Structure 1
Amino acid sequence: MPTARIDLFGIQIDAVSLDETLGVIRDWVQASDTCRYVVTPNLDHVVQLRANQSLQAAYHNASLVLADGWPLVVGSRLFAKPLPERVAGSDLIPAILGSAEEWGGLRVFLLGGMPGVAERATERVHKRYPKVEIVGCHAPPLGFEHVAAENQRIIDLVAESGPDVVVVGLGAPKQELWLAEHHLQLACPVAIAAGATIDFLAGEQIRAPRWMQKCHLEWMFRLLQDPRRLTGRYFRDAVALPGLLWREREATRHCLAKNRQRSVDS
């Protein structure tokens, strides 16, 4: 299913709901012709994108770009090109697993997490989603992306297990850069850059209570859980946000002025 994309903060984001995303991924799984990869940008990714051309290319070449962060959804509405909702990787993966029965079963490969985490996630997934088969999992060593043999090992593991979906939890921007470079070598229909989702599936990390998610406060819950890792990141993103909004405002004004001039000229 073709999707509409909006230009926001220097990237193109698919204007789709979670249900529409599930429909797209189901069609890809059924088509099973080539591997398409999905990225889920949040505000921190947008900040990183400005100084990372390889990451910009990875986002440009992704088959689906889903707004994981509420600042992106709110920003889209401020500039009159609204995204329908936030589609977080940590919501998308459980929704895909929950659709397995309707889809006639689902084969999944888990790539990422610390040693043993994906195995614990496998046990929990089998109990909760009986129509999902975790056909393989792998926690690559630190720095694997720079070692050709390690990259080939992952490609071979995926080929041997034959999954429908590969869930990639290597952290940003590593997971996006790795998928951009290697997705065409993966023998699966869909690969999803899903951040900490494998940790959530394993119970290593806990999602914020539903009321905090609805109030857009999940970031606060995560900060309280892991202040050492996230304080600096959130501070950097908060400092960068006014500049992002200003540049988007100016880009929107420039685009509107060009459209008005075209109308006058025609």
Structure 2
Amino acid sequence: MKFSAGRSVVEVNIPTRPALFQAIRAKFAAGDGFALATLNLDHLTKLPIDAAFAKAYRAQDLVVADGRPVVWLSQLAQQPVELMPGSDLVIPLSTLAAEMQMPVALVGSSDAALAGAKAALEERVPGLNIVKTHAPAYGFDPSGTAAAEICDMLNSSGARLCFIALGAPKQELFAAFARGRAPAVGFASFGAGLDFLSGHQVRAPKIMRALALEWLWRALQSPRRMMPRYAKCFAILPGLALDAWRQR
């Protein structure tokens, strides 16, 4: 399923969870790295106005659908894709890493959040080997000197999977930058996924997620930050729906 984002076109190229895990298992086995992005409406509002973000998205090897509107649009286009929020993939990917003895690194917003996420993952995933955690300093440049230093840390640590929880577009920019500098590492950009695990953010209850109301929960938790974001998301939906209809 392809989505128009200004002059850029973004494709959800992994339609199902089995396809995603098959692809990652193969890359782990071959010693290949990758960059995994989770496309949502917020990304689709940013891509047309942020050339660097659009370039970073083109560098992602694997793109899945994160957000029910993306899934609904794919169904409208008769090219259905499965809902795969990054937050729901952290544990399953960690389980795969433990099974295949792939060391893991965590790069995120704060030392406290990463420590909490590390403890939660080690408790829930027996055999998981977390070899590095790192919280970049405030004002982190995802393609600057500090980013290069993180790549060196990852290479030295032996990590094969790195969860990035820095928010869009910073995490995707870093993944695209690091992809060539740590070629054996798989980078998974999962937003608030680690913060949910550590308890630094509270995820919507399961009933709200089942009713496709997770956006409302997040808006109520942080209205000043989230309401303008969701307003932009709703504004682009008619154009995306028309484009999806044309792809039928």
- TM-score after normalising by structure 1: 0.85
Kindly tell me: are residues 122 and 181 of structure 1, through their superposed partners in 2, closer, same or farther at Cα, counting changes over 3 Å? Answer: same
For 1:92, the equivalent position in structure 2 comes to: 89
Q: 1:167: how far off? A: 0.5
Q: Is 1:137 the counterpart of 2:129 in the alignment?
A: no
For 2:151, the equivalent position in structure 1 comes to: 155
Specify the code of the residue in structure 2 equivalent to 1:237: C
Instruction: Give the one of 110, 114, 122 matched to 1:114.
Output: 110
Q: State how far apart, in whole Å, the 2-side matches of 1:125 and 1:146 are.
A: 25
Q: Is the 8 A contact 2:105 2:132 kept in 1?
A: yes
Deviates more, 1:215-224 or 1:164-173: 215-224
Deviates more, 1:187-196 or 1:72-81: 187-196
Q: State how far apart, in whole Å, the 1-side matches of 2:90 and 2:117 are.
A: 12
Report how many residues are paired.
244
- List gaps (5 residues or longer) in structure 1: 1-5, 257-266
Instruction: Give the one of 162, 185, 198 matched to 2:194.
Output: 198
Q: 1:248: how far off? A: 4.1
Q: 1:226: how far off? A: 2.0
Instruction: Give the one of 76, 79, 82 matched to 2:80.
Output: 82
Q: Is 1:29 the counterpart of 2:24 in the alignment?
A: no
Kindly tell me: are residues 99 and 147 of structure 1, through their superposed partners in 2, closer, same or farther at Cα, counting changes over 3 Å? Answer: closer
Matches within 5 A, 1:166-185: 166-185=162-181
% identical equivalent positions: 33
Specify the code of the residue in structure 1 equivalent to 2:172: E
Q: Deviations over 1:111-168 (max 9, x none)?
A: 1112321012111211111211111111101222168431222112111211120001
Specify the code of the residue in structure 2 equivalent to 1:227: P
Q: 1:37: how far off? A: 0.5
- TM-score after normalising by structure 2: 0.90
Specify the code of the residue in structure 2 equivalent to 1:99: L
Deviates more, 1:42-51 or 1:212-221: 212-221
Kindly tell me: are residues 43 and 69 of structure 1, through their superposed partners in 2, closer, same or farther at Cα, counting changes over 3 Å? Answer: same
- List gaps (5 residues or longer) in structure 2: none
Q: Is the 8 A contact 2:107 2:163 kept in 1?
A: yes
For 1:70, the equivalent position in structure 2 comes to: 68
Q: 1:15: how far off? A: 4.0
Q: 1:172: how far off? A: 0.3
Q: Is the 8 A contact 1:59 1:176 kept in 2?
A: yes
Kindly tell me: are residues 73 and 162 of structure 1, through their superposed partners in 2, closer, same or farther at Cα, counting changes over 3 Å? Answer: same
Q: State how far apart, in whole Å, the 1-side matches of 2:79 and 2:90 are.
A: 26
For 2:13, the equivalent position in structure 1 comes to: 14
Q: Is 1:61 the counterpart of 2:56 in the alignment?
A: no
